[in-house]
Amino acid sequence: DAERLRAALLGMDGSGYGRYRSLTGRWRFDGFELAVEHVQADPYAPPSRLSLEVPASVAGFDAGLWRDPVRARALADLLARRAAEALAGSRFRVDAGGQEVLARSACAVREGAVRLRFAVELPGHGRRIAGREAARQLCELLPAAVASSLRAQALPAEEVRAFADTVSDSVAAREQLAERGLVAFVADGSVLPRRSGVSDLPLTGPGAVPFAAPEPLRVELELPHRGRVAGMGVPEGITLIVGGGFHGKSTLLHALERGVYDHVPGDGRELVVTRADAVKIRAEEGRRVERTDISAFVGELPSGADTRDFRTDNASGSTSQAAAIVEAVEAGARVLLVDEDTTATNLMIRDARMQALVAPDREPLTPFVDLVRPLRRSHGVSCVLVMGASGDYFDVADQVVLLDAYRPHDVTAAARALAAPRDDAPFPAVAHRAPDPGSISAQARGRRRIKGRGTDALVFGETEIDLRALEQLVDPSQVPGLGLALTALVRRGHLDGHRTLAAALDLLDAELAEGPDALDDGYLGDFAPPRRHDTAAALNRLRTLRVARQSR
Ligand code: ADP
Ligand code: MG
């Protein structure tokens, strides 16, 4: 078959580009089967899509590497990286990850068999087929890369095992959090700072201060491979991170944001883990809000708008942040991560002198400091909050961590000595909304209906969804994943105009438990399934979204 493919390609040399289409189908190679799934129409069109499968007997990976789904995901992630490296500089494109280890469409290991999905730019001289070059790519480079990257015998066994062990320790640590009453864990020795604002690699050298847990928050976890690991446990409740500017507060919070994902060995954050239901909250001026109940935060507006059923095409800093909080809880978040750097000050604090000057009945906003404890009491929502600029939160914090030259100290007692009593307003029931599927599906049509722009935006049919405020999106492939998740919610009838968004996300999560293929509907590209919280956040930012029903 491989020889037949070579002959076919050489025979096409110089013919019209359209003849490439005759390659569509399956081709048996020595050690794998290649499927040509979609052939690009011309050299300038998006690349052609291929997949290949290496049977378990040829791949030769030990069952200990794939019988457990967590390890199979890790192995698949590693193999995509190795295949991408082996094919670097060729016309093939394999979607491999960065510092996070994600399930992705590019590679899957099932019962020991390896499936790789990838793209190729079929070569042309103008609009004519470059048959020799195509034969070299498909019949020489590709088989060589498969042999050197997708087989156990070609990879250092120790490295493969360490990769899987790292991921399974991280998953085990995350799974222990809830039963230990923790929302996050940061192992001693973790390296949190990154090399630069544009590099996600760890900071190296003597300037990088490794993490060391402060005494009262020190806990030990027992992990399947690393054994006993000590570090800082962030308890449920309200945790304040304070300290002078540039002392590492935001760096710690960013690491917690990403702790919902697993990291590659050597990242420095392999054992920084955060509960899966943790969501970063921020202000986002100008965003759309559709029928969200923000009345806990915003009372009577000068415009007279009803804040229990609030909609706007152009939210302010404070209303956008209030909406983000309520929407996150609606979608199932039970841990909120908040950084003073990206919040609306007027939603966070109001000091005593301002309260003395502006009469309460002229101030529609209830600051978060008065709501964070009620949110915990009535909805079980914890909060990790970076706040170096105001001591108001001392009144409500369960624990206070001071960062001093990147080193954490527990200063809860000292902060409590400075605290004042504070009356809590009750936090009302969170509104559950049933989105109108018609307002979503109408947007999802068109040929290139789903396309990502980095992690900044999702082109969704005729509209574009601004994702810049979704700080827990870490991989460009999650963005088409968001588009596919939104489409799946509608196409499968999960969103039917009656079912709430949270219930629809439950249905999709159950399907995704089977793996990323649950989102695949013949999409001609790579994707990684997003978290439910990001799917909800993307939907909430769809400018055409309409909510059919709101209930409590
Ligand atoms: P803050 O939010 O307290 O103002 P940042 O988290 O933004 O501070 O950190 C300020 C700078 O210090 C950043 O350049 C960051 O990379 C660096 N930094 C943070 N933590 C560490 C650390 N543990 N070791 C070395 N540098 C660090
Ligand atoms: Mg900061």
Do 221 and 370 lie in a common domain? yes
Cα 416 from Cα 242, distance rounded (Å)? 13
* Each residue's pLDDT tens digit, 21-53: 999 999 999 999 999 999 999 999 999 999 999
Whether residue 237 sits in one domain with residue 140: no
* 211 shares a domain with 92: no
CA distance 546 to 147: 51
pLDDT at 367 over 70: yes
pLDDT at 274 over 70: yes
Bridge partners for 25 per DSSP: 36
Q: Which atom of ligand 1 is nearest to the CA of 254?
A: 6
Answer with the one of 122, 155, 188 that is the final residue of a domain.
Answer: 155
Mean pLDDT of the chain: 95
Decide if 6 is inside a domain. Answer: yes
Asked whether residue 167 is domain-assigned, the answer is no
Question: How big is the CA angle at 205 (ends 202 and 206), to the nearest 5 degrees?
Answer: 125
The interface pTM score, or ipTM, of the predicted complex is: 0.99
Q: Is 255 in the pocket of ligand 1 (CB under 6 A)?
A: no
How does residue 362 score in pLDDT terms, banded at 50, 70 and 90? Answer: confident
Tokens representing 44 are: 């300038």
pLDDT, tens digit, for every residue of 99-117? 999 999 999 999 999 999 9
Q: Which atom of ligand 1 is nearest to the CA of 244?
A: 3
How many other CB atoms are found less than 10 A from the CB of residue 85?
14
Please list the residues that pair with 386 across neighbouring strands. 241, 339
In a domain, 169, yes or no: no
Ligand 1 centroid–CA 536 distance in Å is 31
**What is the Cα–Cα distance from 52 to 460, expressed in whole angstroms?**
29
Ligand sitting nearest the alpha carbon of 206: 1
323 pLDDT above the threshold of 80 = yes
| Residue with CA nearest ligand 1 atom 9 | 248
Residues with CB under 5 A from ligand 2 (ion): 250, 341
CB of 192 closer than 6 angstroms to any ligand 1 atom: yes
pLDDT at position 453, please? Answer: 95
- Same domain (yes/no): 144, 16: yes
- 58 and 187, same structural domain? no
- Quick one: average pLDDT of 233-260? 98
In whole angstroms, what is the distance from residue 366 CA to residue 143 CA?
Answer: 63
3-class DSSP state of 130? coil
User: Are 348 and 454 part of one and the same domain?
Assistant: no
Do 412 and 440 fall within a single domain?
Answer: no
Residue ranges making up the domain that contains 515? 432-551
| Token pair 């994707």: residue | 527
User: Does ligand 1 have an atom closer than 6 angstroms to the CB of 269?
Assistant: no
Least confident of 164-168, 243-247, 361-365: 361-365
3-state secondary structure 239-271: EEEECCCCCCHHHHHHHHHHCCCEECCCCCCCC
% of the chain exceeding 90 in pLDDT: 91
Instruction: State the total domains in the chain.
Output: 3
Is the beta carbon of 250 within 6 A of some atom in ligand 1? yes
**For residue range 448-474, what is the model confidence (pLDDT) as tens digits?**
589 999 999 999 988 999 999 999 999
pLDDT band of residue 445 (cuts 50, 70, 90) is low
Interstrand relation of 100-101 and 262-263 (parallel, antiparallel or unpaired): antiparallel
Contacts of 447 (CB under 8 A, 6+ apart): none
